[in-house]
Structure 1
Amino acid sequence: MRDGMMNGIFGRRGLLGAGALLPLARPALAQPGARPVLLVVPFAPGGPTDLIARRLAVSLGEGLGQPVVVENRAGAGGNIGAEFVARSAPDGHTILFGTSGPLAINRMLYPGQSYDPAKDFAPVAPLGRIPNVLAVNASVPARNVPELIALSKRERLSFGSSGNGASSHLAGALFNTMAGTTIEHIPYRGTGPALNDLLAGHIAMVFTDVLTALPHVQGGRVRALGITTLERSAVLPDLPTVAEQGLAGYDASVFFGLVAAAATPVAARERLRTAFATALAQAETRGFLESQGMQIAPVLTAEALSGLMATETERWARVIRETNLRAD
């Protein structure tokens, strides 16, 4: 599946686009003593992935009629939590709230990774993706992507990321590859330190999620130059994409999806998928996700997530090979 088809999977058509959703089940009544479902978040508490997972757990539990408990198992770019789910009992009671890293990219970044996403997971359904925004310090004399590229060829510029191998690093590496630039990468230990140095003018630019950038853009200390997905973000609807500004096909964002251990029975996965689709059909849940910048997937099937994982793996493998990119 090519990048153009990715736009079809995560377009603006909405949850019911192309009639791809199967009929939604009504929420089940909770059964006393029902065994909880463990929703593993492979990152630390308090971050955007954790926040979204905890909101989804409430709606998912209503649909399943049993508690859904979030457990954070952070480390190694998401690999620790992902491996835990891959090795868990395949009974549908342990699922991973995965992202691009553990589901597609990390296998190329961590040579010692002990699980294979394509073999050790059974996809349940995609959730969607959150774009990054290319943002520069307000003192940088570039008002758009072409001006930034031209400036980078006259002056030495640097971009910060939340760490080697992070999505913000990959976004910058892809930008350099497609734009023919050599903007220096400065890795930080987290988004916060990178953003602090951007605000202080120690680095010229970052690729960060739209919600993190938004207050600083609105405050005038940071200038947003482009959205990193193929389509614009509803959070910053007037901001053109990087692809619109001369780098056709540029697409660097984080996707999210639910997976279970590989041998989980189809019936158990379909029960999870149906409850998940029901949760996303709720206006309150959907509204919360969109307020976080989430572009919700219109096709909520295991096949859609499987195809997405394969496409993202192939696409980022090329970038990682070409740039000799390494994780921390």
Structure 2
Amino acid sequence: MLSSLIRTLRAAGAAALCLAAATSAQADNYPSKNITLVLPFAAGSGTDTTTRLISQHLSQALGVGIVIENKAGANGMIAATYVARAAPDGYTLLVTTNTTHSANPYLLKSLTYDPVKDFTPIARTGDLPFMLVINPEVPAKTVAELVAYGKANPGKLSYASGSSSAIVSGATFAHNAGLDLLHVPYKSSPPALNDVMGGRVSMMFVDILTGLPHVQGNALRALAVTTKDRSPLVPNLPSMQEAGVPDFDISSWQGYFGPAGMPKEIVTRLNAEIRKIVEKPEIKAQLATLGMDAFSGTPEQLGTFVNEQLVLWEKLITNAKIEKQ
């Protein structure tokens, strides 16, 4: 019996050594084939556009192709779950935002992934500030005028959403300004924005990249940004707090994640290449034109940040009195 136990332990030890050797070899040869970046939003969204720019440079740096796979729906849960269940070999990654990794645990009754336990943080790539836009037919040119109109016409105004940032921003605006607003949810921002421009919905909180071209074309009117201070990307717009809505400070962040259990060597390689890209002045400038404040950090910093953001977004959602769906 003792000899049998010894043989079993030796076999287990040998298997562990083989697995470690295979993992090491896999990391040394990484990458040897195309990498898929899974996005929780549709093509044309802010995250999609900025990721396509970054992925061009990442493909060159790694010497392999980068495939963008948009899996919009269920508030990002479809994409997040898909990556959480993928092999942790560095070939299937999630490029996501606070929607899946900060807000969903407090917005959805049933979540098919854990934003901390099921993922390996790789690199943060920056922030995507949001702004409030309205259909030009709404008789308001400032946030104060919009609030006054909404209070004089309870139930007449509505807001669209295509992400958690938009959901929470709209609910926070309604709660903090004391307005009766109808929420109209969409799978992603582009179709939501189309209905605001078409007059079927009154307003929307949208990332600057997606909304600004329509503002410049006079199809939408921009009133304020959601961050505590003005954004250097649109310095002419006041913050919501500056415009008279108290306790309003909401920002959308973006980062790269892999499935839990990725080899450290692969995470380190990806982090180094992504940081080199977003920290180049010329690329930062390009991303700024796309509505993104680009910066990065270590995988450990992203992991700590996710935990901090979970606390913050629980508070935001609780204060806005949003019920889980």
Q: Measured at CA, do residues 173 and 262 of structure 1 come closer, stay the same or move farther in structure 2, by a change above 3 Å?
A: same
Judge conservation of contact 1:63–1:276 (CA < 8 Å) in 2.
Answer: no
Equivalent-residue separation in structure 1 for 2:190 and 2:84 (angstroms): 31
Residue 304 of structure 2 corresponds to: 307
Deviations 1:72-106 (A, max 9, x none): 33332222221222222223332211111122222
Judge conservation of contact 2:160–2:203 (CA < 8 Å) in 1.
Answer: no
Deviations 1:4-38 (A, max 9, x none): xxxxxxxxxxxxxxxxxxxxxxxxxxx99923333
The AA in structure 1 aligned to 2:224 is G
Deviation at 1:139, TM superposition (A): 3.9
> Normalising by the residue count of structure 1, what TM-score does the alignment of the two structures yield?
0.79
Unaligned runs of 5+ in 1: 1-30
Deviation at 1:45, TM superposition (A): 3.6
Deviation at 1:182, TM superposition (A): 2.6
| Equivalent residue for 1:252, pick from 234, 250, 253 | 250
1:42 aligns to 2:37 (yes or no): no
Aligned residues: 295
SS in 2 for 1:70: strand
SS in 2 for 1:242: coil
Unaligned runs of 5+ in 2: 1-28
Greater shift in the superposed pair: 133-142 or 97-106? 133-142
Larger radius of gyration: 2
Residue 132 of structure 1 corresponds to: 130
Deviations 1:209-231 (A, max 9, x none): 22333233334443221011223
Report sequence identity in percent: 37
Report 1 or 2 for greater relative contact order, CA contacts < 8 Å, sequence distance ≥ 6.
1
Deviation at 1:202, TM superposition (A): 4.4
Residue 120 of structure 1 corresponds to: 118
The AA in structure 2 aligned to 1:181 is L
Residue 293 of structure 2 corresponds to: 295
The AA in structure 2 aligned to 1:119 is K
Residue 204 of structure 1 corresponds to: 202
Deviation at 1:257, TM superposition (A): 0.2
RMSD over aligned CA atoms reads 2.7
Equivalent-residue separation in structure 1 for 2:148 and 2:229 (angstroms): 24
Superposed, 1:1-328 pairs within 5 Å as 34-156=32-154, 157-162=156-161, 166-188=164-186, 190-297=188-295, 299-321=296-318, 322-327=320-325
Equivalent-residue separation in structure 1 for 2:323 and 2:191 (angstroms): 21
Judge conservation of contact 1:59–1:285 (CA < 8 Å) in 2.
Answer: no
Deviation at 1:171, TM superposition (A): 0.9
Deviation at 1:192, TM superposition (A): 4.4
Equivalent-residue separation in structure 2 for 1:83 and 1:125 (angstroms): 19
The AA in structure 2 aligned to 1:317 is E
Residue 20 of structure 1 corresponds to: none
Equivalent-residue separation in structure 1 for 2:157 and 2:171 (angstroms): 12
Q: Measured at CA, do residues 162 and 237 of structure 1 come closer, stay the same or move farther in structure 2, by a change above 3 Å?
A: same
SS in 1 for 2:257: strand
Equivalent-residue separation in structure 1 for 2:61 and 2:292 (angstroms): 21
Deviation at 1:253, TM superposition (A): 3.2
Residue 25 of structure 1 corresponds to: none
Equivalent-residue separation in structure 2 for 1:311 and 1:134 (angstroms): 25
Equivalent-residue separation in structure 1 for 2:39 and 2:301 (angstroms): 21
Deviation at 1:264, TM superposition (A): 1.5
Deviation at 1:196, TM superposition (A): 4.0
Judge conservation of contact 2:81–2:112 (CA < 8 Å) in 1.
Answer: yes
SS in 1 for 2:117: helix
SS in 2 for 1:243: coil
